[in-house]
Amino acid sequence: MLDASFTISPVNPCLGEEVTLIPNTPGGTFTGNGVTDDGNGDDGTFVANECGIYAVTYVLDDPNGCNNSYTLNIYTDTVAPEIPSMDAWASGADAFDNCGSVSITYRIFDRRSGCSPGTGTYVFEFTATDECGNTAVDYANYVVRDITPPVIS
């Protein structure tokens, strides 16, 4: 029986990125949503325009009239974005992703009151979300202190 398995490159594609489908045994046909096979029995290509899991199948006909097939699931962008150190977050939080743009949201996660009115520690939660819904979360503290000495009148 012929080996109908194949490999892909890159393994974790971004949206719109072309993936090369490389058969272990040439001579078959690749099929599936987003797949292009030129019919030469060699490599095929795959491109995802939406996030998700795509089943790609390679069918190899054997000289005896039988066929063998292999299906591989391709997952688009499974890597979460990265939020760099939050030390200087007050000047604007930022995040990076291996694929495309990232949106950042934040909220007050916790607040601990201080001794004086309006003082305390605020804990902010930052969430970075990429185009495929992968998320990263980080936290930063913001401390409000009363450093004004009292005035005697």
Rounded (5°) CA angle 62-33-2: 15
Q: Give pLDDT tens digits for 84-136.
A: 866 555 556 788 899 989 998 888 888 887 777 778 888 888 899 999 999 99
Neighbours of 62 (CB within 10 A): 13
In which region does residue 121 sit, left (phi positive, over 0), alpha (psi from -120 to 50) or beta (all else)?
Answer: beta
Please give the average per-residue pLDDT across 1-27, as a whole number.
94
pLDDT digits (tens, 9 = 90+) for 30-40: 999 999 998 88
Give the pLDDT of residue 140. 85
- Per-residue pLDDT tens digits for 64-93: 888 899 999 999 999 999 988 665 555 567
